[in-house]
């Protein structure tokens, strides 16, 4: 019996081992290395010079970093709220089974399965001065817009691409959460005379809290890590109008060869993500239904 218990434990550990190794090699080790590197001045070649917290001090005196931080917070605020509302609307629209509903679910989910770079290039072509969107605007009699060349419009185009790519994915998660809500609660609400809006507000939203918590946390993490859309669409421009903190860290490391400074930026981004996740955890009580 004792041998069997030991063998069962060993089998369990062996199944977990590949994931554990992946976590250590690709997540924990790079994170520790980044934290250590943030205390050094290193160009990627040659010796590393220990500078202590100098990179952090430089960061908060760097106007480009401070501006990128503001842009990131604006992006995350709009992305998290807009993405949740859009995904929820799509989920409610295709929640119930019906004729052809699978087709619509597939259409809404399809962008999440397409290469982000491919979609990004299509988006870039559409928002060119002579692209599809400007063609439609001019057809309606309005003047063409600079979009990606405008400091006030470029971030909006990046956000529209992020919504297009993410809403379908989170729609699927919310549908699963909606389908887990027992029908009896809705029947009881209808007996009490509740309208559809009241049912959504007093039944759906409270009972969907665990799923909503997951969607919001994942959206926050996605928002702070946005990179590909910006790299493909704008390259951080025009005039740093779409340079987020992650993109600025990338530029610091691979354009200006300041690997220590770039690592310090990523450490600060990580700390902000953890802090916001903890705040959200407290506000939503970890997604627990009261």
Instruction: Kindly give the confidence (pLDDT) of every residue in the chain, 290 residues in length, as a single tens digit, with 9 standing for 90 and above.
Output: 566 677 878 888 888 898 899 989 988 998 899 899 999 998 888 888 999 899 999 998 999 999 999 999 999 999 999 999 999 999 999 888 778 888 888 889 988 888 888 888 899 989 988 889 999 999 998 888 888 888 889 999 999 999 999 999 999 999 999 998 998 999 998 988 888 899 999 999 899 988 998 999 899 988 998 998 899 999 888 889 999 999 999 999 999 999 999 999 999 999 998 898 888 888 877 667 66
What tokens appear for 207 in the block?
């009972």
pLDDT at 48: 87
Write down the pLDDT at residue 90.
92
pLDDT at 1: 55
- Model pLDDT, residue 113: 87
* Phi-psi sector, 195: left (phi>0), alpha (psi -120 to 50), beta: beta
pLDDT at 264: 94
**Tokens read off for 88:** 């929820």
**Token pair 């908060």 in the structure block, residue:** 60
The 8-class DSSP code of residue 42 comes to -
Measure the N-to-C terminal CA separation of the chain; round to a whole number of Å.
43
The CATH architecture to which 61-287 belongs is Orthogonal Bundle (1.10)
Residue whose token pair is 């297009």: 164
- Residue 270 tokens, joined: 């990580």
Tokens of 243: 């340079």
Residue 115: predicted pLDDT: 85
Q: How many residues does the chain have?
A: 290
Domain boundaries, the chain: 61-287
How many C-beta neighbours within 10 Å does residue 282 have? Answer: 9
- What predicted TM-score, i.e. pTM, was given to this entire model? 0.87
Q: What is the pLDDT of residue 136?
A: 92
C-alpha angle 83/269/247, rounded to 5°?
A: 75
**pLDDT at residue 287 in the model:** 65
CB atoms inside a 10 Å sphere around CB 108? 20
């Amino acid at each position: 019996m004792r041998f069997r218990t030991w063998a069962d434990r060993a089998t369990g550990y062996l199944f977990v081992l590949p994931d554990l190794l992946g976590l250590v090699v690709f997540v924990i080790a790079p994170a520790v290395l980044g934290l250590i590197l943030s205390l050094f001045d290193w160009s990627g070649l040659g010796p590393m010079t220990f500078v202590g917290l100098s990179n952090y001090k430089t960061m908060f005196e760097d106007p480009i970093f401070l501006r990128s931080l503001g842009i990131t917070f604006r992006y995350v605020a709009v992305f998290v709220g807009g993405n949740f509302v859009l995904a929820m609307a799509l989920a409610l629209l295709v929640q119930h089974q019906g004729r052809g509903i699978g087709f619509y679910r597939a259409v809404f989910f399809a962008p999440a399965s397409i290469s982000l770079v491919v979609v990004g290039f299509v988006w870039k072509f559409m928002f060119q001065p002579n692209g599809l969107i400007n063609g439609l605007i001019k057809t309606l009699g309005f003047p063409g817009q600079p979009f990606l060349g405008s400091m006030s419009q470029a971030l909006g185009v990046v956000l529209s691409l992020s919504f297009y790519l993410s809403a379908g994915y989170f729609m699927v998660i919310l549908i699963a959460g909606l389908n887990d809500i027992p029908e009896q609660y809705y029947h009881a609400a209808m007996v009490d005379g509740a309208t559809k809006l009241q049912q959504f507000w007093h039944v759906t939203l409270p009972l969907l809290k665990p799923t909503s918590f997951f969607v919001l946390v994942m959206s926050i993490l996605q928002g702070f890590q946005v990179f590909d859309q910006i790299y493909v669409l704008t390259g951080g421009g025009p005039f740093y109008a779409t340079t987020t903190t992650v993109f600025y860290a990338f530029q610091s490391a691979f354009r200006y060869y300041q690997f220590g400074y770039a690592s310090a930026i990523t450490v600060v981004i990580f700390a902000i993500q953890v802090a916001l996740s903890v705040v959200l955890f407290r506000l939503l009580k970890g997604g627990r239904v009261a």
